[in-house]
Structure 1
Amino acid sequence: MENYRHLLRDFEEGLLTEMKEKGRIIEVKAGQMLLQSGQPIRNTIIVLEGLVKLFRESDEDGSEFFMYYLQPGDGCALSMICDRTFRASSVTVRADTNAKLLVVPVEYTEHWMRNYRTWYHFVVGTYRKRYEELLETIDHIAFQNMDVRLEFYLRRHSQVLGSKVLELTNTQIAQELNSSREVISRLMKKLAEAGKVRLLKNGIELLKL
């Protein structure tokens, strides 16, 4: 925990002590499933290193709809308000890179909401941030054409990853935008012809997005 105090600096000492006593730090590999849709939520997580992706899965064909990333210092909003009833998750959570997570059983977070104002403000701030992100995503889905949605998707990933080079395939992008690989391939070719991206063997480089 001492190595991550800069991420948890807004929490009071009593809460940090309980996090150390009640929680545990785990290491996960890129691609590892942390929670699947329909599974009971037994723990809340705070990301200490790496990136974690949240997405919805279609019951019909298993296609994915990307929601947002959790970065170092972020907590999983959905798990923060769960209680001892262990409600089923409505999203799937997967490590996008190798990551380290602080994992705490949800029964302790109930106590923290009542007794630690810093945890209360952290939870409220997390929900506000995710709500605003989802509104932005919904706006693009409801009111924008696929080419605009694709550019938004690429910019967002670049900002989160801190890189202009994205290791994404057209199939991955199509799944997360609920489109087809053929449509994404055609739009990516148009972006490349416009000088906005460079198509690489194993990904995409953003140039003028």
Structure 2
Amino acid sequence: MKVFNTRFCDQLEEEILTNIEVIFLKKNHILVHEGDTLNKIPVLKKGLIKVYKENVDLEKEVLLYYLKPQQTCMMSIISCLKNSKSIVNAKLEVDSEIILIPSDKIKQWNSTYPDFNKFVLEIFMERYFELMTIINELTFENLDFRIIKLLKLRSQNTTKKIVALTHIEIAQITGTTRVVVSRILKKLENKNKIIIRRGEVELLDL
């Protein structure tokens, strides 16, 4: 079984396979809460994970990035290497298969194997550029663009191009209100771009 989308030396590959645990979790399961101490680092084998910051009082959240198969969370690795608590949340967007690796092994491999250290640095750079893209979109792109991008991304995990998101959930992810989301979705529906159904959106021509 291939855990990461990269090739390590045979010894490290064997150590990784010896120390992993595979679990299956349902959609909407909160894998990591802000403030958690992480004893194990998640690697996504199958599914989709949303990493985000949340303001409970305002009922708003800010999307940081999504994890796709064979990816792991940069913020979780930072918490692991610094022995600090998580500053983000991670939630399953679909039923997912997760690989768990003990945090002490991540630290050990990072200091022992140069290839693994290089891999960790590459993760940091990849997520950094993703965060810069998010910041650029929040600053310069209009809300219509961000909602369309979200729907397209979420539809990649479905065969029928149906996205199971409510208007409230879309509003939370994009940092706006349900009323604004409903207006934008209705405008897209009137242009025959989508079909709005209860609790989901079908993509036609986005």
TM superposition score category, shorter chain reference: 0.7 to 0.9
Percent identity reads 27
Specify the alignment match of 1:129 in structure 2: 126
The 8 Å contact of residues 69 and 160 in structure 1, kept in 2 or not, is answered as no
Specify the alignment match of 2:111 in structure 1: 114
Specify the alignment match of 1:19 in structure 2: 16
Distance (Å, rounded) in 1 between the aligned partners of 2:61 and 2:163: 18
AA aligned opposite 2:163: L
TM-score by length of 1: 0.87
The 8 Å contact of residues 47 and 95 in structure 2, kept in 1 or not, is answered as yes
> In terms of mean alpha carbon deviation, does 55-64 or 187-196 score higher?
55-64
Specify the alignment match of 2:101 in structure 1: 104
Distance (Å, rounded) in 1 between the aligned partners of 2:155 and 2:118: 28
Match among 175, 179, 188 for residue 191 of structure 1: 188
1:51 equivalent in alignment to 2:48: yes
1:34 equivalent in alignment to 2:20: no
1:182 equivalent in alignment to 2:179: yes
CA RMSD of aligned residues (A): 2.2
The 8 Å contact of residues 167 and 199 in structure 2, kept in 1 or not, is answered as no
The 8 Å contact of residues 59 and 172 in structure 2, kept in 1 or not, is answered as no
TM-score by length of 2: 0.88
| Matched residue SS, 2:79 | coil
1:84-103 deviations in Å (ceiling 9; x for gaps): 76311111112222222221
| Matched residue SS, 2:146 | helix
Q: What number of residue pairs does the alignment pair up?
A: 206
Q: Which runs of 5+ in 1 are unaligned?
A: none
> In terms of mean alpha carbon deviation, does 173-182 or 108-117 score higher?
108-117
